[in-house]
């Protein structure tokens, strides 16, 4: 019979075990983290465009509020699944919500803001006021 020397120390084995537990725990907690949709904001000469990726939702799931110059996009969705079988019964609840707020510049024409939801993307058009469309770029003379 041959003896094989074990080169690892118990302390390093314990630290590896703890790292594995942390890794698995962190992976599980990522599944339960609330959904925060990604947002793209672009600007052209006439308006700003806000696009929010929210696949699997319906336009009735969204609420869009404007309070002073703060635009808030929010959603609350609750799903309930129930499965019955001869040997077991299972009921699962799924509740998800998010809220994103954006402070709008004073150059926005608040009366003309429009929103559309299509193909999993919520698009909010934020047109600029006419007086804000004046080019702000100019060369300044040095005295």
Write down the domain spans for the chain.
Answer: 39-131
Instruction: Give the separation between CA 96 and CA 62, rounded to whole angstroms.
Output: 12
Q: For 106, which DSSP code?
A: T
pLDDT tens figures, 36-81: 788 999 999 899 999 999 888 888 889 999 998 999 999 987 777 7
Rounded to whole angstroms, the Cα distance separating 123 from 113 reads 11
Residue 12 gets which letter from DSSP? H
Q: Cα separation of 122 and 135, whole Å?
A: 29
The pTM assigned to this predicted structure is 0.63
Of 120, 96, 122, 95, which is closest to residue 36 (Cα–Cα)?
Answer: 96
Beta strand 62-67 with 70-84 is antiparallel
CATH no. of 39-131: 2.60.40.790
pLDDT of residue 25: 61
């Amino acid at each position: 019979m041959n003896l094989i020397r074990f080169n690892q120390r118990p302390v390093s084995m314990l630290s590896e075990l703890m790292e594995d537990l942390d890794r698995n725990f962190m992976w599980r907690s990522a599944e339960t983290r609330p959904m925060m949709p990604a947002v793209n904001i672009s600007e052209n000469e006439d308006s700003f465009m806000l696009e929010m990726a929210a696949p699997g939702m319906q336009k009735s799931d969204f609420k869009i509020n404007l309070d002073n110059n703060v635009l808030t996009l929010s959603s609350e969705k609750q799903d309930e699944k129930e499965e019955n079988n001869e040997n077991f019964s299972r009921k699962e609840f799924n509740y998800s919500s998010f809220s994103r707020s954006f402070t709008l510049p004073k150059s926005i024409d608040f009366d003309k803001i429009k929103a559309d939801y299509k193909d999993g993307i919520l698009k909010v058009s934020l047109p600029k006021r006419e007086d804000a469309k004046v080019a702000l770029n100019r060369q300044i003379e040095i005295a």
